[in-house]
Structure 1
Amino acid sequence: MSLRPPRDKRTTLAEAASAVADGAIVALGGGLCARLPMALVRELIRQGRTGLHLVGSAHSIDVDLLVAAGAVRRCEESYVGFEQDLGLAPAYREAARNGLIEIAESCCATILAQLRAAEMGVPFLPVVGVRGSDIGSLHPEYREIECPFTGQKLVAVPALRPDVALLHAPSGDRYGNLHLEQPYVLDERFASASKAVIATVDELVSTEDVTAAGITVPGHLVSALVEVPFGAHPASCYPRYAYDRPHLNEYVTAARSGDAAGYLQKYVHDTGSEDGYQKAIGRLDELTGWSASTDAWKELFA
């Protein structure tokens, strides 16, 4: 297959986000506080999206912001929080406690198996790891089966085909070929299993350049692409920029005090666009200096 499909996939952030329908099953790329599709998340919130069914591995501010904005109906994640650094995700935790969203806690192994089933065109795949846990009680769609060869009891998880995967990559070309740095998390599987892929990239490069760097997601899987430098902020996109700990702390502090709406108003709605958001942040270039020295990266996380 040619690395130069016949269609230029470039579009605007607003047009790309408009392709995500209310109620869609949305796979979120990246993980924890790394390579999250934050520019797309903010645009979905600006556009007032509702009823989303989120799927991911382990995430943080992307899920928490969407929950705080009232955009989420159901969430399938193995973890939502800010790791040992800033603690649990406040809006997600509050919504779960009050029954405002459906919680379908899963694990990376089950989601991975479900995506692989979709890629392979089979209705399910068996897994072992969730037997003996309460995860099955959150997923009535799972079934216990017996291996026809060994008699072993297994859990059958159905194929998962998200309506759209939202990914952020360090670089890509106009045809949608994307280069990702390790770890890929579930991005490769999301790209192959989803009905559509919308990607943002920090830098638009030539096909030759993305090929030389290594194509992780081929362009024929990508429906739309937007060049958004720092599009993962306040998450990181190593090696280009570190995560913005002070800004993440600002959000977590606001959300814990019950003022996630104030944060959303200031940084999402009032800014009006991704350009406006980045002007409001104003310190993005500092995040690129993380690798200059030990002191440089320590200052970012002070």
Structure 2
Amino acid sequence: MKDGDSIAFEGFTHLIPHAAAHEVIRQGRKDLTVMRMTPDIIYDQLIGMGCVKKLIFSFAGNPGVGLLRRLRDAVENGWPHAIEIEEHSHAAMANAYEAGAAGLPCAIFRGYRGAELTRVNPNIKTVTCPFTGETLAAVPALKPDVAIIHAHKASRKGDILIEGILGVQKEAVLAARRSIVTVEEIVDDFEGASPNACILPGWTVTAVAHVPGGAHPSYVQGVYARDNAAYIEWDKVASERETFLAWMEENVLKVGPEIFADRVKHLVGAKGAAA
């Protein structure tokens, strides 16, 4: 990963790659174009630490709590610097990743009829179907330089297994030029799992990192629960620039990824409940 890259940190409430995003912040990466269907507090942190140039997204918020205060401060007040935003619907983002994975230049789908996003997002176009004459929506394909996801297991061959809720992790990795997968466990093989349960074969993945707890405070189905208290706390932490910077210094800049395993010890045994 390098300055100026486009990066997708994907996960849909479940399996959000917090540890990997913290490493990006520690490395001081800048001028990033970041994308995600549902950017939450890791995007608040990336934006607040000045890593982000542009955000491509559909719905941004602290799930179950409220807004992203560092994102709002950047958009409204230009702190720590102004960022560009490109807002889409969930359907548009999912289709755009799918198009990127298929090597297509754009995604074409039914959507955005009567939607006001078309007034503020010039990348939402319309095309006419050559077969039916129907007017359809079109958006550019998403092809990140790097896709980063968190997963349950990786085999020693590099195959990736995810259980529970899926977002667009598979599509993001297939659309990306390079990919990093952090995992809870590395195993010899996926004993007892159906061959069809392998989400990503090893040849689609650039690198695997063993990072137990790497999704905290989000959850990993069957391993640890969502840490709701951390999301509630974040709203207070992010409300002021000074408290945000102090928290990031203490909890991100000064610590390495091994800390994540300790953070989920009290959640293990809750069987990955979503809430």
TM-score under structure 2 length normalisation: 0.90
Q: Counterpart of 2:3? A: 22
Cα separation, 1, equivalents of 2:237 and 2:100: 39
Is 1:200 equivalent to 2:179 in the alignment? no
Unpaired segments of 5 or more residues in structure 1?
1-19
CA gap 1:211/1:138 in 2 versus in 1, 3 angstroms: farther
Q: Which residue of the other structure, out of 46, 57, 60, is the alignment partner of 1:80? A: 60
CA gap 1:90/1:189 in 2 versus in 1, 3 angstroms: same
Shift of 1:283: 4.8
Cα separation, 2, equivalents of 1:158 and 1:251: 33
Cα separation, 1, equivalents of 2:132 and 2:175: 30
Quick check: 128-137 or 187-196, which moved more? 128-137
Shift of 1:138: 3.7
Cα separation, 2, equivalents of 1:135 and 1:195: 29
Shift of 1:124: 2.2
* Greater helix share, structure number: 1
CA gap 1:36/1:291 in 2 versus in 1, 3 angstroms: closer
Shift of 1:221: 0.6
Shift of 1:239: 1.6
Is 1:31 equivalent to 2:12 in the alignment? yes
Shift of 1:211: 5.4
> Structure 1 segments of 4 or more deviating over 6 A?
none
Mapped contact 2:101–2:172 kept (Cα < 8 A): no
* Greater strand share, structure number: 2
CA gap 1:168/1:283 in 2 versus in 1, 3 angstroms: closer
Q: Counterpart of 1:134? A: 116
Mapped contact 1:234–1:247 kept (Cα < 8 A): yes
How large is the RMSD of aligned CA atoms in angstroms? 2.2
Structure 2 residue matching 1:58: 3-state secondary structure: coil
Structure 2 residue matching 1:248: 3-state secondary structure: helix
Mapped contact 1:41–1:66 kept (Cα < 8 A): yes
Shift of 1:118: 2.2
Q: Counterpart of 1:267? A: 251
Cα separation, 1, equivalents of 2:221 and 2:77: 36
Cα separation, 2, equivalents of 1:211 and 1:224: 22
Is 1:183 equivalent to 2:162 in the alignment? no
Q: Percent identity?
A: 31
Shift of 1:291: 4.1
2:269 maps to a residue whose letter is G
Cα separation, 2, equivalents of 1:53 and 1:209: 38
Structure 1 residue matching 2:238: 3-state secondary structure: helix
Q: Counterpart of 1:143? A: 125
